[in-house]
Structure 1
Amino acid sequence: MFLTKSASASVLREAERARNNRLEIIQALSHGQVSRRDLIKWGIFTSGGFLAAKHGLSPFVRNSWGAIPTGVPASPLFGALPFTFPMLRFDVLPRLPVSALSPAPTKEANTTQQPVPAILGGGTGPIEGRPPGPIWAHQGWERFPPKVAIEVTQAPCRIGAKGSYRPEVSSPSLNCDFDDVNAECRPYFNTAFPNQDGNRFWTFNGTVPPKLVQGRYGEPILFRHHNGLSADRRDNAGFGLHTISTHEHNGHHGAENDGFTGAYFFPGQFYDYHWPIVLAGFSTINTGATDPKAGSPNDSGGVDLIPGDWHETMSTHWFHDHMFSFTSQNVYKGVAAMFNIYSALDRGNEAINDGVNLRLPSGSAKSWGNLDYDVNIMLADKAWNADGQMQFDIFDLDGFLGDQMTVNLAWKPFFNVEPRKYRFRILNASVSRFFKLALSDGSPMIQIANDGNLLPGPVVLTELDEIGIAERYDIVIDFSRYALGSTVHLVNLAEHQDGRRVAKDLRLSEALSGNSPDPCVGRFLEFRIKVPLAGPDRSQVPNVMIPNPDLSKIPVSRERVFEFGRGANKNTNDPISSAFGPWGVKVDGQDMLAADFGRISAAPKFGTREVWTLRNGGGGWDHPIHIHFEEGQVLDRDGSASKVPAWERGRKDVYRLRPGGSIKITMQFRDWGGMFMEHCHNTVHEDNAMLLRWEIHDAGAPFLKALPTPIPTPQGVTFRDPTQVLRNA
């Protein structure tokens, strides 16, 4: 979203005028004053959905030297220097008793009526935005009743009250000496930058740093999400939409709790998500809960055994907005958080040596869930205007790129560490940018997880593979090799020229040279080996972690092919459920179709296993494809099992296709039912029609084939028959 370093003053003025003109169009779209169809009719958009090449909208109309991607002046730094502001830990959300929730949660949606603001149509509507009735009732409610409540409000970001921040570490020295009791957390990326306007920055509970949920297997969570945004959709600083749907990525639970893109809710409503936190296969594998590796850490330091397959144990999740056609804008505005899941294998206590606990870096002050040496990291590129306020440009449908790196919503920060092993749970929370990470001295890192899942065994690397949007890479860095007082940096090697794909993976020396035209290349996080060792490092990285489930005895009931590409046919025109844009998905050789969340593109049968091939329809772009509901195993890349690298041989939920490439995976469909999604997690591609709906069916109770599509309004959710069911779904 910036020009080359050599741009002249006149070009910068032209770019600023073009940006302001585009922002007027973005604001009109976000306020519902015009539609994309209006813009096509007026010649502002092309029929393919792109911004027309008109003077006054793009600075590149009369120039050929523009860079990433749409041409605006660089984000100002207000005199700030890199690595002068601390990277703060995530803010841990309190775990409450379920009895603290009022009203009490219910199996079916709570349809108690309340007044609806006039700007939303007036009258009355339900207090809960979840679709009503038995179809969207919580599955497994009686078997897995919630034991813990997490209550949050989506709100414009503000200065956090003193004492409200909870990093949950045993000493301030483990959080860069930040005084979390007496200091305020301000909505800025650096002390030199201005506070972000609340209408540009929407966060959980309206504060920063990003939020973290800690859960454990066998302890179902009721996540109550209040929509505290303005009822006036114009209170959005020109981008983002005030309706939200929360996707717990990649939770193994029923569709009613999945954050389906069409099951959004409005300001003034809440939505109760029931996250049972169960091992996949609980209904068929280890049903007597006798396997010592299938368990949950308890408060006394022991383990409570649970049913299910311990090979399906997950660790690092995140949750984010999934509003139809607005996911990119809402996530960029701050609707993103992380979720650590603890188990008998991954206790979050490195000192417990019971033959099951893997003893990964964490700490030992608590019986489980220690964060002292277990650090969540959220990477996201951002861009801001001359006033320092976040900007988003919807007009480059190839993808949005910011020109500044943030880590846990801080610009190029530092983080103090002890000379010992640390675990870093790294999330790519960008809109369209891929990352490729290395340490500035070229020393090794140990990758222990890909997406939410620990690998069968650790992989030692000096450079990580490219991290696609929404992927999570857990790594261990051993800082004991460094002297106290020294520093080392995380470096990004992935150079972008646009939002379609990585243009080039640079060598470490190239990335450190400062010569890349992509300002997000190079050092972005400084580790300071500054804190003396507080105690012995009792952590380890074992040679065997979580082997994959053995699927050899489970027959493959069907194979499907999904191709992701451009030139999608828009064959439905419902203004609520169908998306507009050039991207789309082709299923089993049928037409390339634009998204419609009322269309059913696949319907695998409950209790079966299938093989899906995900294919990139072109070589000029990359797509990180996310399939909701359950992890898959990668069988081959580009037709060859030998092309699957070690770090992709565990279970995954995001699959990078690579330009012109394909990947074959296998998945199971069990335990739960309902409607789920498959889409590109370059969220600009997703919002511009690269998304489909699929559903699990058994042709009977407790879910139906085909399920009716929810259509939310402030006055209540109605249902429609599917707009289309693809042949042979």
Structure 2
Amino acid sequence: MALLLSRYFVHLLWLLAFVHASPLAGNSEAHEVGVTLAKFHASSTAVMSECQMLDPSPSLTQFVDSLTFPPLINLSSSSGISDESVLTIGAYKIIQKLHRDLPPTPMYAFGTSQKTASVPGPTLLGTQDVEAHLRWENHIRDETHMFVVDDSLHWARPPDGGVPIVVHLHGAEVASASDGHPDAWFTFNATDTGTTFSTLEHRYSNEQPPTALWYHDHAIGITRLNVAAGLSGVYIISSPDEQKILPIGLPLVIQDKQFYENGEINFPMVGVLPDYHLNWCAEYFGDTMLVNGKIWPFLKVLPRAYRFRLLNACNARFLILSLDNPQMHFLQIGTDGGLLHEPWNLTSLTMAPAERVDVIIDFSKLSNGASVILNNSGPTPFPSGDISQMPAKTYAVLKFIVDEDNGITDGVLHEFETANVNVSSLLIDQKPISEEDAVVSRMLGVVEWDDSNHMPMTFTLDNRTWQDDVTQYPMEGTTEIWELMNLRINAHPIHIHLVQFRVLNQQTFSNRSFELGTCSVNIAYGENGSCYTEPPRDPYIYQRGWKDTVITWPNVVTRVLIRFTQRNGLPFKFDPSEGPGYAWHCHIVDHEDNVMMRPFVVTANESLRALSRNMVSKCKDV
């Protein structure tokens, strides 16, 4: 099919292959890996497809339902689990009331039982350096998914039917057998299992610094369906030292969905290119905003400062969050990987799908009865979409109401000054990561393949798909630079399993000159023949700190510095070379399901590392 389409639709096909053998500064061992990239017709404007133009949701009044919070399970308390016991969490089919005026909605949900299952799932609280032992079970009895599965995609295809799931703890330093490998899926009672399935029981060492992670389904080819159906939740790692300074905080899980009059979720059933992918749609954008499973809720707060743990759990929607009171701001104290060395005062928060932000909002200067709305102005698609075309109600997300008598007490900072102090005391065991330590740099293309009408057909990373052979074999204990080269007009959030990394820099390049082959990304900015249009610049402020998901901007090379160790620089306390390996992928899960995902294997084998370091990509048939 791809070959047939290429004969009719290719406006421009360009190929580039290169090997750059110049050593990285300070390390004579380093080499840049070769890369070959290919792309269909380029476009300069965002195009919305018919599959994204769903019937609008019923009209629902905003801010009539109180925000709720998922149940909290302390994994290290006496009522939770110990080193020798297991907490069982299952996936169930439930109905949940999302809005006062909307009938209950069928969903898939996590919980310790059918009765307690909720969307989002329970918030799991782990203690740093105390291992948690969880058993994930599948109790979804549906013979087919509640949404239409596109059989043209590479997906689980259980022989006996059912709804495959596998749980990934996003952001965790974890052995690959417990990582939620996409091919380790299993159906109801593990009747059918994927090729890398080994166990329902996952061990989480919780050895990384305090932070907010999240768990979600990761089954190959249907992650977008399972996440949209409700299979996700928050996982917090805390420590006694952190809790001396800060409360655990309140999770705010933000999603967008579309609904039918009967309360069911409206998810695309017809594909963007039905002749190619019958049911797959490139991005799912709902016209209704949810927080913690409630549609446009309100939250009563005291006139105090609160800690919030924000998660963008949307399939594809980027968020630009702000408060409608110009006198208020966000005090950001943490990112994906944990606390920052110093807080940042921000008037807006840009969040890609899967990113977490740790913030403090101070309501102490507001009078009783005052309200503040948390708004979103992120365009769809991002950043090229036309914000004026967004459904009007998707601007609002959540309403805070100051109530001196009935405000929520959880998450309150009793001494706000402690939030403004330097939190470096919690980071003293963190070994800095240095560019000079890098032993290899990999140029990796982030590519969308379109037809002549700019409609997306498929996506690749480094011109390869999930099914292609492994080409990244980083060696445990080493540091690498991954140069993520976004060749399209929209941003892609790239998530790398196992590790936290730092964004080194970003650099724009001329996509047009690059695709014509008249310049090279191996030539430094300012020299003849360079593709770069500016010198490398520091990452945006919201991309600093430790990250596991990074926004790769269009026509920009985003360089990330990855050390394949624990955050503190010490070896993992498990063998990362055992098991099926890890993944890196776009976290627009609709793209991930259309093979925008690649495997990588951590190795202790020098010969494999050398093979990976010097490998030149092969041109793919189109």
With the shorter chain as reference, the TM-score category is 0.7 to 0.9
3-state SS of paired residue (2:188):
coil
Shift of 1:531: 3.3
CA–CA distance in structure 2, aligned partners of residues 99 and 448 of structure 1: 30
Q: Give the match for residue 638 of structure 1.
A: 507
The higher-RCO structure (CA 8 Å, 6+ apart) is: 2
Q: Give the match for residue 183 of structure 2.
A: 262
Structure 1 residues 400 and 630: alpha-carbon distance in aligned structure 2, compared to 1, 3 A threshold: same
Structure 1 residues 376 and 147: alpha-carbon distance in aligned structure 2, compared to 1, 3 A threshold: farther
Q: Does structure 1 conserve the Cα–Cα contact (< 8 Å) formed by 2:138 and 2:189?
A: yes
Q: How does 1:612-631 map to 2 (within 5 A)?
A: 612-618=482-488, 620-631=489-500
Q: Give the match for residue 524 of structure 1.
A: 397
Query: Which of 104, 118, 136 lines up with 1:225 in the alignment?
Result: 136
Q: Give the match for residue 208 of structure 1.
A: 118
Structure 1 residues 215 and 227: alpha-carbon distance in aligned structure 2, compared to 1, 3 A threshold: same
Superposed CA deviations along residues 65-117 of structure 1, whole A, max 9, x for unmatched, are 9888632221113xx4210101101212364889999xxxxxxxxxxxxxxxx
Q: Does structure 1 conserve the Cα–Cα contact (< 8 Å) formed by 2:75 and 2:127?
A: no
CA–CA distance in structure 2, aligned partners of residues 399 and 273 of structure 1: 31
Structure 1 residues 538 and 691: alpha-carbon distance in aligned structure 2, compared to 1, 3 A threshold: same
Shift of 1:642: 3.8
Q: Does structure 1 conserve the Cα–Cα contact (< 8 Å) formed by 2:76 and 2:132?
A: no
Shift of 1:725: 12
Shift of 1:518: 2.8
Superposed CA deviations along residues 300-335 of structure 1, whole A, max 9, x for unmatched, are xxxxxxxxxxxxx23110010000011111011011
Tell whether 2:420 aligns with 1:542: yes
Structure 1 residues 524 and 97: alpha-carbon distance in aligned structure 2, compared to 1, 3 A threshold: closer
Structure 1 residues 633 and 641: alpha-carbon distance in aligned structure 2, compared to 1, 3 A threshold: farther
CA–CA distance in structure 2, aligned partners of residues 99 and 424 of structure 1: 25
3-state SS of paired residue (1:696):
coil
3-state SS of paired residue (1:317):
strand
CA–CA distance in structure 2, aligned partners of residues 96 and 651 of structure 1: 25
Q: Does structure 1 conserve the Cα–Cα contact (< 8 Å) formed by 2:460 and 2:597?
A: yes
Q: Does structure 1 conserve the Cα–Cα contact (< 8 Å) formed by 2:65 and 2:99?
A: yes
Superposed CA deviations along residues 207-235 of structure 1, whole A, max 9, x for unmatched, are 325220000112100111011111x5325
Q: Give the match for residue 317 of structure 2.
A: 433
Query: Which of 348, 355, 364 lines up with 1:463 in the alignment?
Result: 348
3-state SS of paired residue (1:431):
coil
CA–CA distance in structure 2, aligned partners of residues 637 and 333 of structure 1: 35
Query: Which of 438, 444, 453 lines up with 2:338 in the alignment?
Result: 453
Q: How does 1:240-259 map to 2 (within 5 A)?
A: 242-259=163-180
3-state SS of paired residue (1:201):
strand
Q: Give the match for residue 74 of structure 1.
A: 56
Structure 1 residues 521 and 69: alpha-carbon distance in aligned structure 2, compared to 1, 3 A threshold: farther
Query: Which of 575, 594, 603 lines up with 2:465 in the alignment?
Result: 594
Q: Does structure 1 conserve the Cα–Cα contact (< 8 Å) formed by 2:119 and 2:231?
A: no
Q: Does structure 1 conserve the Cα–Cα contact (< 8 Å) formed by 2:52 and 2:285?
A: no
Q: How does 1:225-624 map to 2 (within 5 A)?
A: 225-230=136-141, 233-234=143-144, 236=146, 238-239=148-149, 242-269=163-190, 271-279=200-208, 313-347=209-243, 352=244, 359-360=245-246, 362=247, 369=248, 374-393=249-268, 395-396=271-272, 397-442=281-326, 443-464=328-349, 466-496=350-380, 499=381, 501=383, 503=385, 517-532=390-405, 537-539=414-416, 540-546=418-424, 549-552=431-434, 555-567=437-449, 582-586=458-462, 592-596=463-467, 599-618=469-488, 620-624=489-493
Shift of 1:388: 2.1
Question: Structure 2 regions of 5+ residues with no counterpart?
Answer: 11-46, 151-161, 191-198, 273-280, 509-534, 566-571, 618-622
Q: How does 1:640-655 map to 2 (within 5 A)?
A: 642-655=537-550
Q: Give the match for residue 664 of structure 1.
A: 559
Q: Does structure 2 conserve the Cα–Cα contact (< 8 Å) formed by 1:252 and 1:630?
A: yes
Superposed CA deviations along residues 434-474 of structure 1, whole A, max 9, x for unmatched, are 0101101122111111213212211101122x200000011
Superposed CA deviations along residues 357-396 of structure 1, whole A, max 9, x for unmatched, are xx12x2xxxxxx5xxxx11010000011232210211624
Q: Give the match for residue 683 of structure 1.
A: 589
Structure 1 residues 263 and 615: alpha-carbon distance in aligned structure 2, compared to 1, 3 A threshold: same
Q: Give the match for residue 603 of structure 2.
A: 697
Structure 1 residues 556 and 441: alpha-carbon distance in aligned structure 2, compared to 1, 3 A threshold: same
Structure 1 residues 605 and 83: alpha-carbon distance in aligned structure 2, compared to 1, 3 A threshold: same
CA–CA distance in structure 2, aligned partners of residues 536 and 375 of structure 1: 12
Please report the TM-score for the alignment, with normalisation by the length of structure 1: 0.62
CA–CA distance in structure 2, aligned partners of residues 402 and 236 of structure 1: 17
Shift of 1:699: 2.9
Superposed CA deviations along residues 493-513 of structure 1, whole A, max 9, x for unmatched, are 1122xx464525x7xxxxxxx
3-state SS of paired residue (1:481):
coil
CA–CA distance in structure 1, aligned partners of residues 482 and 258 of structure 2: 37
Measured on the aligned residues, the alpha-carbon RMSD in Å equals 3.4
Q: Give the match for residue 98 of structure 2.
A: 189
Q: Give the match for residue 83 of structure 1.
A: 63
Please report the TM-score for the alignment, with normalisation by the length of structure 2: 0.73
Q: Does structure 2 conserve the Cα–Cα contact (< 8 Å) formed by 1:98 and 1:147?
A: no
Structure 1 residues 502 and 212: alpha-carbon distance in aligned structure 2, compared to 1, 3 A threshold: farther
Residue identity matched to 1:224? R
CA–CA distance in structure 2, aligned partners of residues 536 and 83 of structure 1: 25
CA–CA distance in structure 2, aligned partners of residues 461 and 148 of structure 1: 43
Percent of pairs with identical residues: 22
Q: Does structure 1 conserve the Cα–Cα contact (< 8 Å) formed by 2:284 and 2:316?
A: yes
Q: Does structure 2 conserve the Cα–Cα contact (< 8 Å) formed by 1:147 and 1:221?
A: no
Superposed CA deviations along residues 575-618 of structure 1, whole A, max 9, x for unmatched, are xxxxx9510011xxxxx12321x621200112211111111012
Shift of 1:490: 0.2
3-state SS of paired residue (1:636):
strand
Q: Does structure 1 conserve the Cα–Cα contact (< 8 Å) formed by 2:250 and 2:308?
A: yes
CA–CA distance in structure 1, aligned partners of residues 310 and 79 of structure 2: 34
CA–CA distance in structure 2, aligned partners of residues 431 and 502 of structure 1: 17
Q: Does structure 2 conserve the Cα–Cα contact (< 8 Å) formed by 1:680 and 1:691?
A: yes
Q: Does structure 1 conserve the Cα–Cα contact (< 8 Å) formed by 2:256 and 2:285?
A: yes
Structure 1 residues 489 and 346: alpha-carbon distance in aligned structure 2, compared to 1, 3 A threshold: same
CA–CA distance in structure 2, aligned partners of residues 563 and 538 of structure 1: 47
Superposed CA deviations along residues 101-154 of structure 1, whole A, max 9, x for unmatched, are 9xxxxxxxxxxxxxxxxxxxxxxxxxxxxxxxxxxxxxxxxxxx9356321111
Q: Does structure 2 conserve the Cα–Cα contact (< 8 Å) formed by 1:607 and 1:669?
A: yes
Superposed CA deviations along residues 409-447 of structure 1, whole A, max 9, x for unmatched, are 110000011111101100000000001011011221111
Structure 1 residues 520 and 434: alpha-carbon distance in aligned structure 2, compared to 1, 3 A threshold: farther
Shift of 1:542: 3.3
Structure 1 residues 428 and 235: alpha-carbon distance in aligned structure 2, compared to 1, 3 A threshold: closer
Q: Does structure 2 conserve the Cα–Cα contact (< 8 Å) formed by 1:75 and 1:388?
A: no
Q: Which moved more, 1:439-448 or 1:401-410?
A: 439-448
